[in-house]
Chains A and B, each alone.
Chain A
Amino acid sequence: EPEVTQTPSHQVTQMGQEVILRCVPISNHLYFYWYRQILGQKVEFLVSFYNNEISEKSEIFDDQFSVERPDGSNFTLKIRSTKLEDSAMYFCASSGTSGGPYEQYFGPGTRLTVT
């Protein structure tokens, strides 16, 4: 069964450093999302991406964040200058082949720890 994959599974970085989180969505999906979950809290939407551009972003997704789909398979989230409060689990999700509505399938997540 196709699944969303994410790398790395855990990243530790120092405050102020740049990190890139990688995702490979399900191959024929059209819509891509990043969510994050601070430990013990709910899952929060960051950004959605469709047709090679951001379709929506939350207030969390400020200028420090960016997303890219550099090739036909990868979908990346970059945090330019990490802060302590960026420590969280980051989930990539993908959905949508044709028709609708679309179930969003989540990857296993990347645990980001900022020290």
Chain B
Amino acid sequence: QQPVQSPQAVILREGEDAVINCSSSKALYSVHWYRQKHGEAPVFLMILLKGGEQKGHDKISASFNEKKQQSSLYLTASQLSYSGTYFCGTGRNRDDKIIFGKGTRLHILP
């Protein structure tokens, strides 16, 4: 069963913050976040494990609430380069396939 992402789309001005949420009805081992620009492959951002960890690099971070089976991706002080579609994906164990959500389209305006 695919994870549910919200919102479906976000439009921001450069410098604003965004939060993208991902939830699953099933117990998760891992949550994967990818960004995809039009016509390109998904690019790996980060993976979070059960245990409720939080990860981040640069101005993009994410959390994973295992009890709620939810993950959130935080983009702070957004840059034009952050535009794209963000997909969360979930896995049941460490080498499991990724089941992707439908994506959240993020558009950053100058």
Please report A residues at the B interface, Cβ cutoff 8 Å. 30-31, 33, 35, 41-45, 48, 50, 55-56, 58, 91, 95-96, 100-109
Contacts and interface: CB of A to CB of B under 8 A. Distances in A.
Given A42-B102, A108-B40, 19 more contacts: A31-B95, A42-B2, A42-B87, A42-B101, A43-B98, A45-B99, A45-B100, A48-B95, A48-B96, A55-B95, A95-B95, A101-B29, A101-B47, A101-B95, A105-B44, A106-B34, A106-B42, A106-B44, A108-B41
Interface in B72-110: 87, 89, 91, 94-103
A1 B56 CA distance: 21
Contacts of B87: 42-43
B95 A102 contact: yes
B108 to A, nearest CB: 20
B106 to A, nearest CB: 15
A30 B94 CA distance: 12
Contact of A101 (B42, B44, B49, B99): B49
A42 B42 contact: no
Most chain B CB atoms below 10 A, which of A43, A56, A58, A102: A43
Size range of the chain B interface in the assembly: 20 to 34
B11 to A, nearest CB: 18
Contacts of A95: 95
Contact of B30 (A30, A101, A109): A101
A109 B97 contact: no
Report which residue of B2, B40, B47, B98 has the largest number of chain A beta carbons within 10 angstroms of its beta carbon: B98
A100 B94 CA distance: 6
Contacts of A109: 40-41
B95 A91 contact: no
